[in-house]
Amino acid sequence: MENRIKAIKCESIAEEMGIEKGDCLLSINGEKVKDIIDYKFLTSDEYIKVEIEKQSGEVWDLEIEKEYDEELGLEFEEPIIDKPKSCHNKCIFCFIDQMPKGMRDTLYFKDDDSRLAFLQGNFVTLTNMNDEEIDRIIKYRISPINVSVHTTNPDLRIKMINNKFAGNIYTLLKRLTQNGIKINCQIVLCPGINDGAEFKRTVEDLYRLYPGVTNVAVVPVGITKYRQNLFKLSRYDKNSASNQLKIAEELQCKYIEEIGVPFVRLSDEFYLVSETEIPNSNFYENYSQLEDGVGMVRLFRDNISSHLKSLNKGARGSFTFLTGELAYSEIKDAAEKIMENSPDIIIDVKKIINNFFGHTITVSGLITARDIMEQLKYKTLGKNIVIPECMLRKGYELSNSDKRVFLDDITLDELEKALSRNILVCDYTGNDLIQIINENSEVE
């Protein structure tokens, strides 16, 4: 496949060497470049030989001296150079299988690519990889990687993932960790399937691979209204979520005593659904599992409290905070604290119900612009609307012009026009929320 270059970074080595947009990268140090992993590995040394084919057909042989790991400054038409590998599994809990028809084609693409696990933090099952690809992870030291485990019970994993090769997960994890590869593991917990005793078994198996397996994040299965003819699954309620937390707490106490950290952590949804108090900040260490919704509430609360004093004195303005059903009470409490501290700041928190995917979906990250439009069109809104960044899509397939688009392909600009309001995007980590208020308020 042609490794065609789409852009050159300003003041980069590539620009200095005369490489241009439209040129093709043929080889590095005499080796063909299969994908972005090859590219990053082969360009890491201080001295490299690069073969470039110009648009005229002329081939340049360039000798480059640089700092170790200094980038050349090339951007390719395909972000990972090669096409991403699709998933051949048929997981009983797959969210993509639960999406309505008629959305953008790329939303239905299931990736299971270790390169995206390394580059973007995507989780992979390791079922779509052969021995050569495992060897390449070890050779190139592609670490850490994120692996969706779900269960270490071979028969149960084959059933959950619907892939006859899924049962050897523990062997693969052991092989990778013995060769120095660090692994972050994820478990999607399904009531009555891989929770309870199976959950405990899985965590204890993974703990035996510590510190190669650095941590385990546990998230509840997401269920939309589009599950016709799919495997029957249920949601966690107050009682069942509480039971999983009790199992985890027993293990966590043991691990903290042995290694000083909990090792396994459940996402905030388990605590909120079971109405259990969120652990303190020490429990979450450096918040490395935020992408799985682990520790977001604690980080948000702490940041709001510690950054309240940085609100501009005399600031005045009106804001509408948008959130999903699950986090509504947290955002509401934060808004009240801000208004108590700054009486001239008016904040209205709007809970957006997920009609698009169904009322069983309560997280903010799966809210669509269409639901926002329909539920706010007759509402009184503040001058500025604040939304969490997780509402906007991410992915290797998005170009720069697509970065501000919702799951239903409505852009942020279109939503602003529909609501006639300025929309501000933040991570809802707390400190950035205070910063946004400061930057968009009037000061007397």
Instruction: Round to whole Å and give the CA distance between 31 and 38.
Output: 9
- Tell me the pLDDT tens digit for each residue of 178-214: 999 999 999 999 999 999 999 999 999 999 999 999 9
Average pLDDT, the chain: 88
The three-class DSSP label of residue 7 is strand
- Tell me the pLDDT tens digit for each residue of 377-414: 989 999 999 999 989 976 444 444 456 889 888 999 99
Weakest-pLDDT range from 15-19, 140-144, 251-255, 376-380: 140-144
Contact indicator for 218, 187 with CB cutoff of 8 Å: yes
The three-class DSSP label of residue 148 is strand
Residue 250, number of CB atoms within 10 A of its CB: 10
- Tell me the pLDDT tens digit for each residue of 111-166: 544 455 455 457 788 887 778 888 888 888 888 889 999 999 999 999 999 999 89
Domains for the chain: give ranges and CATH numbers: 3-76 (2.30.42.10), 96-292 (3.80.30.10), 301-443 (3.40.50)
25 pLDDT above the threshold of 80: yes
Please calculate the CA angle 376-381-384 and round it to the nearest 5 degrees.
Answer: 115
Instruction: Round to whole Å and give the CA distance between 158 and 285.
Output: 33
DSSP for residue 175? H
176 pLDDT above the threshold of 60: yes
Query: What integer pLDDT is reported at residue 99 of this predicted model?
Result: 82
Of 80 and 231, more confident: 231
CA 393, distance to chain mean position in Å, is 10
Per-residue confidence band for 63, with pLDDT thresholds at 50, 70 and 90: very high
